[in-house]
Amino acid sequence: MAALLLDSIGDLGAFSFHETKNVISGEGGELTAAFLWAQLQEAERITAERMASWDHYHGLLEPLERKGLLRRPIVPADCQHNAHMYYVLIAPEIDRHAVIEALKREENYSVFHYVPLHSSPAGRRWWGGCDC
């Protein structure tokens, strides 16, 4: 599976150019398509810059992982990623908001993206907030 291109898996494939991705185009249209085309022409350079940042974060955070304070992403050796985002999983006893604020004071801006479906308001309503 690792050798397959993303758009070759299954019967239907799609690419996202959402505003949080490496290459973006918003809602479409001719003007936006022109911006997208320029980004696609620079996609290798954009990805290389993002990979350099990703690798830098990965190296800097290794000591914190060894101390058990967080878990870094694991990329299997036979897979290639595009450094879309760098995430960490922090220990449950560590206050996520305090970490975000401490990073912000050092001019390192971070966010949290997704609330797990089972603990979201809809998940709790429809599925009873199971401990998945």
pTM for the full predicted model: 0.71
pLDDT value of residue 117: 81
Weakest mean pLDDT among 14-23, 28-37, 66-75, 111-120:
14-23
Percent of the chain past pLDDT 90, that is, above it, reads 39
Q: Helix 43-66 crosses helix 30-41 at what angle (to 10 degrees)? A: 70
Weakest mean pLDDT among 4-13, 21-30, 45-54:
4-13
Q: What's the chain's Rg over C-alpha atoms?
A: 18
Mean pLDDT throughout 45-71? 94
> Which domains can be identified in the chain, with CATH numbers?
2-8+25-127 (3.90.1150.10)
Question: Tens digit of pLDDT for each residue in 10-30?
Answer: 776 667 777 777 777 777 778
Q: Which of 25-29, 59-63, 111-115, 121-125 holds the top average pLDDT? A: 59-63
**Which among 14, 22, 17, 8 is positioned nearest to 81, based on CA atoms?**
22
